[in-house]
């Protein structure tokens, strides 16, 4: 430029511009490198985690979740805002880099951006800077005026993060203004001097600033030009070095966090990566007890959280006032890491993570036991932060120390001695199927060496022993019988699947249950497994190894309906409106959303409504398995909230496909005062009730008989 000096030529404060800006670059880059290196210290000391496999699958995730911002639109307004900001940042990255180099070498042009391409890129980035600036203004207004509830920080979790968020948003806005001022002052000077003017995008921020500077004198323009450049430089490096101290660190870490995200989320993390079950006895301590027991990836999660609050906004434990909010599982761990691994100073570690605040611990036992492992937090997180593995690992640590809630000790002992949490006799496991009258209409084989079948119906503890849930077992058996399935059960040999035991952190007990069942299943010779319990389904499919193919009964029914093997009688009660509740371990954990709905929609005359929170946003009923034996402090039951959601949707019949959901929902209907106004039914029960059987009147007969068996079998216990 002829009429004002370029940044390298300027001599502010008696220092040549080139020297000044080179110094800023070097200091900025070195400081940033040092800070990041210090942030990596705990990751180096962390536990192993195998995340280097399947590079193409990981790259695909980066394209989808990072570049494609896949999860952001789940929150329409904030998501769209974030997409604009992210796109702006991506577009502006090269421009920012070029501007930095211009301070040292004025004639620098980014390769590929000379001539028309460069001019077009400048136009695009003028708009990008404007959009990012506007987004910052909107975000600040949202934070200050509209104050979305999910950003709030309850007093028990510390101070509000608003000031930090506003500070960072303002810095980005300043960066955009400085960048635009630099371009505007340059264009205004060119215009002033009668040179050809670099085109600025009409109505963009640089364009508007250029218009505002139109009548400014050349010396003043020179000052604006220099100020724009200097502020851009300083803000850029300040932001770069400040971000690793707070939530904005995700700008640097999110790409890596998504690349290294768990590919097989449905499979629970092993106790120690790289240690097989056979060698677990050599592991000194199970689970996470101190910060360094987390894996490096879990620590990366802590750095990558954007504090958006979506996880907690969807967490049922948080919604009912349990002492758990997943967002703060992360935030507290990050604060712990920053405090114990400071950028300047010595690292200190070893404090137990669970315990009293006074002793420096960050979590309470109740907080960790409050999780139902429903997966809503993970489903929602745009940065793929993992929670279930961490929570289970923290529980493993507590179990290892003998720190198990009182109410859980009895069911855990019963599981150890009897193979079920109720402490019932093994020989009574098949009572639900053995009632004489039931055997006459639906013979259920007990599989053994001389009594084989193609299909094993894995019943699991609750359906085997709970009087009410036995009805689900009988309905399932009758459906299998109806479609001509050659099936049987393991009977007394079957033990609890161990699904909840594992999620409660009792890995050794889980392994014993699993190994026993694996042997029994293999000995049965069955070529496929069917279950009506999503928890058993998840365990058999993901926690067990080398099993025959496993299906949930809803999948079997949907297939047989399509094949024409199951036909339905119409619903007789015209006033019934059905809402399907997605069980977490069928829906979110295994993506079985459509089969149960297809089955319901195949029943003539069935009116079905969707709850607002359905499918992958389904709201947990309160947790299955051992959650039935543990009652955390809460303001309201999750089940009550769920039945209220169904009522709001206009339903008076809740259908689910899980015996644990059934316990919680039926209980919640009573607690919510909806008795007489709402009922609950399992999908298998409804199908059994509505199946058009060859013999007229068989439906009514079977329904009546079902009730009698409940009485008959319960009398045997
Ligand atoms: S798994 Fe469910 S209950 Fe547990 S923290 Fe996540 S959302 Fe909350
Ligand atoms: S963990 Fe994910 S969803 Fe939760 S606050 Fe952090 S970024 Fe948001």
Whole-number Å distance, alpha carbon 267 to ligand 2 midpoint, is 21
pLDDT block averages, 10 residues each, the chain of length 717: 64 75 93 97 95 97 97 97 96 90 80 86 96 98 94 90 94 96 92 80 96 91 90 95 93 97 93 90 92 97 97 97 96 96 88 90 95 97 98 97 93 96 94 90 90 95 96 97 96 96 96 97 96 98 96 98 96 96 97 98 98 97 84 92 98 97 97 97 98 63 46 36
The CB of 376 under 6 Å from ligand 1? The reply is yes
Three-state SS string across 555-584, please? HHHHHHHHCCCCCECCCCCCCCEEEECCCC
| CA 640 – CA 644 distance, rounded (Å) | 6
The CB of 498 under 6 Å from ligand 1? The reply is no
Is residue 132 within 8 Å of 169, Cβ to Cβ? Answer: no
Query: Residue holding tokens 């319960």?
Result: 714
CA-nearest residue, atom 4 of ligand 1: 371
Inter-axis angle of helices 76-102 and 115-141, to 10 degrees?
A: 130
Which ligand is closest in space to the CA of residue 75?
Answer: 2
CA torsion through residues 589, 593, 595, 600, sign: positive
Q: Relative to the CA of 315, which ligand 1 atom is closest?
A: 7
Whole-number Å distance, alpha carbon 531 to ligand 2 midpoint, is 34
CA-nearest residue, atom 4 of ligand 2: 311
Three-state SS string across 610-623, please? CCCCCHHHCCCCCC
Q: Would you mind telling me the total number of residues written for the chain in this entry? A: 717
Residue 680 β-bridge partners: 654
The CB of 374 under 6 Å from ligand 1? The reply is yes
Is residue 268 within 8 Å of 502, Cβ to Cβ? Answer: yes
Whole-number Å distance, alpha carbon 308 to ligand 2 midpoint, is 5
Q: Relative to the CA of 250, which ligand 2 atom is closest?
A: 7
For residue 703, what is the enclosing H or E element?
helix 698-714
Whole-number Å distance, alpha carbon 380 to ligand 2 midpoint, is 8
Mutation pick for ligand 2 pocket among 302, 317, 334, 383 (CB with most ligand atoms within 8 Å): 383
Cα separations in angstroms, 569 against 562, 576, 611, 687: 16, 15, 25, 10
Whole-number Å distance, alpha carbon 371 to ligand 1 midpoint, is 5
| CA 148 – CA 165 distance, rounded (Å) | 13
Residue 14, pLDDT score: 62
Q: Relative to the CA of 370, which ligand 1 atom is closest?
A: 3
Residue 697, pLDDT score: 46
Whole-number Å distance, alpha carbon 548 to ligand 1 midpoint, is 30
The CB of 315 under 6 Å from ligand 1? The reply is yes
Cα separations in angstroms, 406 against 410, 510, 641: 8, 19, 27
User: Which residues are near ligand 2 (CB < 6 Å)?
Assistant: 305-311, 327, 330, 380-381, 383, 385
Residue 709, pLDDT score: 46
Whole-number Å distance, alpha carbon 316 to ligand 1 midpoint, is 7
CA-nearest residue, atom 2 of ligand 2: 381
Residue 703, pLDDT score: 47
Residue 551, pLDDT score: 98
Which ligand is closest in space to the CA of residue 315?
Answer: 1
Whole-number Å distance, alpha carbon 588 to ligand 2 midpoint, is 18
């Amino acid at each position: 430029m002829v009429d004002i000096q370029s940044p390298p030529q300027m001599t502010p404060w008696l220092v040549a511009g080139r020297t000044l800006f080179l110094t800023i670059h070097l200091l900025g880059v070195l400081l940033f490198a040092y800070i990041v290196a210090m942030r990596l210290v705990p990751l180096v000391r962390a536990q192993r985690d195998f995340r280097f496999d399947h590079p193409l699958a990981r790259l695909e995730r980066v394209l989808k979740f990072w570049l494609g911002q896949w999860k952001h639109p789940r929150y329409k307004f904030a998501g769209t805002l974030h997409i604009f900001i992210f796109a702006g940042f991506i577009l502006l990255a090269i421009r920012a880099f070029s501007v930095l180099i211009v301070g040292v070498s004025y004639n620098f042009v980014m390769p590929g951006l000379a001539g028309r391409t460069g001019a077009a890129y400048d136009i695009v980035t003028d708009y990008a800077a404007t959009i990012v600036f506007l987004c910052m203004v909107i975000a600040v207004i949202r934070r200050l005026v509209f104050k979305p509830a999910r950003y709030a920080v309850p007093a028990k979790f510390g101070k509000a993060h608003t000031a930090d968020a506003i500070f960072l948003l303002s810095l980005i806005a300043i960066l955009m203004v400085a960048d635009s001022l630099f371009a505007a002052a340059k264009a205004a000077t060119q215009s002033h001097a009668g040179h050809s003017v670099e085109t600025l995008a009409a109505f963009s921020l640089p364009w508007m600033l250029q218009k505002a500077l139109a009548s400014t004198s050349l010396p003043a323009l020179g000052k604006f030009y220099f100020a724009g450049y200097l502020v851009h430089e300083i803000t850029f490096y300040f932001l770069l070095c400040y971000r690793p101290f707070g939530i904005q660190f995700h700008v640097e870490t999110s790409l890596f966090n998504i690349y290294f995200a768990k590919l097989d989320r449905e499979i629970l993390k092993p106790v120690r990566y790289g240690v097989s079950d056979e060698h677990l006895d050599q592991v000194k301590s199970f689970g996470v007890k101190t910060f360094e027991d987390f894996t490096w990836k879990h620590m990366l999660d802590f750095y990558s959280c954007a504090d958006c609050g979506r996880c907690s906004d969807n967490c049922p434990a948080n919604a009912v006032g349990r002492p758990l909010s997943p967002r703060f599982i992360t935030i507290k761990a990050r604060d712990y890491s920053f405090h114990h691994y400071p950028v300047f100073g010595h690292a200190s570690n070893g404090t137990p993570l669970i315990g009293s605040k006074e002793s420096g611990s960050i979590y309470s036992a109740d907080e960790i036991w409050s999780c139902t492992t429903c997966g809503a937090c993970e489903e929602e997180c745009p940065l793929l932060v993992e929670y279930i593995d961490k929570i289970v690992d923290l529980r493993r640590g507590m179990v290892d120390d003998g720190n198990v809630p009182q109410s859980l000790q009895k069911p855990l002992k019963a599981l150890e001695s009897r193979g079920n949490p109720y402490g019932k006799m093994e020989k009574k496991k098949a009572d639900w199927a053995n009632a004489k009258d039931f055997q006459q209409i639906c013979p259920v084989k007990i599989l053994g060496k001389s009594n084989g079948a193609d299909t094993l119906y894995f019943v699991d503890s609750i359906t085997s022993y709970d009087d009410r849930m036995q009805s689900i077992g009988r309905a399932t058996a009758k459906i299998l019988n109806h479609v001509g399935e050659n099936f049987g059960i393991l009977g007394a040999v079957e033990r609890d699947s161990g699904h909840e035991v594992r999620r409660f952190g009792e890995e050794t007990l889980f392994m014993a249950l699993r190994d026993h069942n694996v042997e029994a299943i293999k000995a049965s010779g069955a070529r496929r497994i069917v279950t009506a319990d999503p928890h058993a389904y998840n365990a058999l499919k993901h926690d067990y190894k080398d099993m025959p193919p496993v299906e949930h009964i809803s999948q079997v029914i949907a297939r047989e309906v399509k094949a024409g093997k199951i036909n339905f009688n119409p619903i007789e009660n015209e006033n019934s409106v059905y809402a399907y509740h997605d069980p977490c371990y069928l829906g979110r954990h295994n993506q079985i959303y459509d089969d149960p709905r297809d089955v319901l929609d195949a029943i003539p005359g069935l009116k079905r409504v969707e709850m607002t929170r359905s499918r992958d946003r389904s709201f947990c009923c309160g947790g299955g398995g051992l959650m039935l034996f543990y009652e955390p402090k809460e303001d309201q039951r999750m089940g009550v909230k769920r039945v209220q959601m169904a009522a709001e949707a206009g339903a008076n019949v809740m259908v689910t496909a899980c015996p644990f959901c059934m316990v919680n929902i039926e209980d919640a209907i009573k607690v919510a005062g909806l008795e007489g106004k709402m009922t609950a039914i399992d999908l298998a029960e409804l199908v059994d009730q509505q199946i058009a059987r060859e013999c007229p009147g068989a439906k009514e007969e079977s329904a009546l008989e079902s009730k009698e068996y409940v009485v008959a079998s319960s009398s045997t216990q």
